A = this chain, B = another copy of it.
Amino acid sequence: MEIGQLLSSRTRYMSASEIRELLRWATVDVISFGGGMPDPSTFPVEDIAKIVSYVLEAYPHKALQYGPTEGIYELRQEIAKFSETRGIKAQAENIIITVGSQEALELLGRVFINPGDVVITENPTYLAALQAWRVYEPRLVGIPMDENGMAVEILEERVKQLKAEGARIKFIYTIPTAQNPTGLTMSQDRRKYLLEVAERYDLLVVEDDPYSYFLFEPIQVSPIKALDKTDRVIYLSTASKIFAPGLRLGWVIASEEVVRWFNLAKQSLNLNTSNLVQYIFLEGLRRNVVLKNLPNVRDLYKRKRDAMLAALETYMPHGVSWTRPSGGMFIWVTAPPQIDTKELLKVAVTQYKVAFVPGHGFFVDQSVRNAMRLNFTYPTFEQINEGIRRLALALRGA
């Protein structure tokens, strides 16, 4: 039977994620800096085992049953408390539980984006966010970054222009802390400025915050959501990096109205996030597993970052530059301009046995072709050193 003729027109925007394709290679003899996986040694396995026993003993009928679309009330309360430690004031009613942060990205597209609507992002930004929204046909506008994050003055100029053109701006998307893919962190001043711009032009801000527990430097920043007095920030976070990605549990903190729309949209997507998984994370928060483990994990990742920076310093040829990430999971490498990293990847994987994510897909217009993203959390220290050595050889050979 011929499927091609039956496909919806939006399937033309669905393309295989390079990151996901790369995950497949992680099993073979290739050293992979692709993906964005935590180091599995950081998973609180014993705590989770104890927690599951308790959950199945204490409230098995709730944990194994259907639940409300927005998530279990106690978990939403507990996340509100957890967020308070970072200065975010929220009630359970401001929170919806999602199947990872990825589902929150989908909900944003679904609830807000009509074809031609403007979405403003850092450029580069998280590839899978762009991918999630493309089926809704937004006009993506990228704002350049420097070591202090999104260039907010340029943002304001662009917003002014766009408004003058009559463009419908739906939201500004930012990963202000330890950004994916660059590892850079937006300064506190810029956070305030960004929020001022949003207020001045009455715009929504989406703050995607998976990494702020992994700042390796003593940078003083607060979540933009913590500065938000006018309920215009939609804040996303996830258990994937601070607990375990195998749960697929994320959350959104926003105004009750936004939560209500996300709730309606989520009903059709999957009814609700696994109750069992929600109870596991609830107990994880109650027992302080997350905050207890964080210092060790942060220290491990800092050392891995440092190992990768040192290896880059040691092996990379002249003309290659990279960011010094203040936190998170990635280093962003820029090769000499004549190198196309998509081409390089083929050679790197087949001949040099090392993988990375080419930078193209992180740009709203795929305009930059000589960049790549390297993950330093998943590989071992040995793999980091050896992999960077191989990557340098591949670059020298290119």
Distance, CA A132 to CA B270, complexed state (A): 10
Number of interface residues of A (CB under 8 A): 87
Q: Which of A273-293 contact B (CB under 8 A)?
A: 273-277, 280
By the criterion CB–CB under 8 Å, are B64 and A244 in contact?
Answer: yes
By the criterion CB–CB under 8 Å, are A261 and B64 in contact?
Answer: no
By the criterion CB–CB under 8 Å, are A265 and B64 in contact?
Answer: no
By the criterion CB–CB under 8 Å, are A131 and B274 in contact?
Answer: no
State which of B61, B63, B65, B131 has its C-beta within 8 Å of the C-beta of A268. B131
Q: Is A111 an interface residue (CB 8 A)?
A: yes
Binary contact readout A1-27 vs B (1 if CB under 8 angstroms, 0 otherwise): 111001111110011110010011000
A97 to chain B: closest CB distance in Å?
Answer: 12
Q: Is A300 an interface residue (CB 8 A)?
A: no
A-B contact pairs, 10 of them (CB 8 A): A11-B264, A15-B264, A20-B271, A40-B60, A49-B52, A65-B244, A66-B240, A102-B271, A131-B268, A277-B277
**Hey, which bits of chain A sit against chain B, CB under 8 A?**
1-3, 6-11, 14-17, 20, 23-24, 35, 37-38, 40, 43, 45, 48-49, 52-53, 56-57, 60-69, 98-100, 102-103, 105-106, 110-114, 117, 128, 131-132, 135-136, 170-171, 202, 204, 230-232, 240, 244-248, 255, 257-258, 261, 264-265, 267-277, 280
